[in-house]
Structure 1
């Protein structure tokens, strides 16, 4: 096997091992881990079978196979970024609603305290 094949295969396995370690230490939520494990698996597979990209490129009529690899990689990165933005937007919306609920509860508590003080003064 060529050196770049070993390098890519080992890199994919190291990334997968790191992801599993991050999950076990609770630094990475399992919801996000699937994406990274899939990426590591793809790196390892393409490292072990580099001609796979060539054969897929030929079937898709791509003249220069690395272009296919980089185009697909860039597309996946953009999808991941979109997924992150959607997740963060959902988190921000939940945080904003929680802050509004807390504000309403604080207002209710202050109103009840004032009513209690007013009733004890009368």
Structure 2
């Protein structure tokens, strides 16, 4: 019974922490949703511990305590994959922005040279 209460309290504390971080704008929507799902799963497993036994039987796992470890490791791997995809997208976006910035800087330099050459070659009315 103590493990159930501990798991339920951990789920509630995690959900509260996530909501606090979202409210303070330290954690954004899609990331918060992911963590709220983890908190809800922890809360459910705390209140209904037989869920693990049922899921283990359903999936054919003979030793039910291994199931949360397998699920946890799988979720960690999925999260890491998602982070790598997001980082790759951001790196591609940064590279494209750097290329656009270089093009704009070159155009600005060309325009400045054209302007200075026009002012230097223009006849003065003294």
TM (normalized to structure 2)? 0.93
Shift of 1:3: 0.9
- Give CA-to-partner distance per residue, 1:42-100, whole Å, 9 cap, x none: 00100111111001111222110111221111111100000011011111111111111
- RMSD of aligned residue pairs (Cα, Å): 0.8
SS in 2 for 1:28: coil
Partner residue in 1 for 2:12: 13
Partner residue in 2 for 1:86: 85
The reply on whether 1:115 has 2:122 as its aligned counterpart is: no
Shift of 1:37: 0.2
Aligned residues: 121
Shift of 1:112: 0.1
Structure 1 gap ranges (5+): none
Shift of 1:21: 0.6
Q: 2:30, 2:99 → 1: CA distance?
A: 27
4+ long deviations beyond 6 Å:
none
The reply on whether 1:62 has 2:37 as its aligned counterpart is: no
- Which entry has the higher C-alpha Rg, 1 or 2? 2
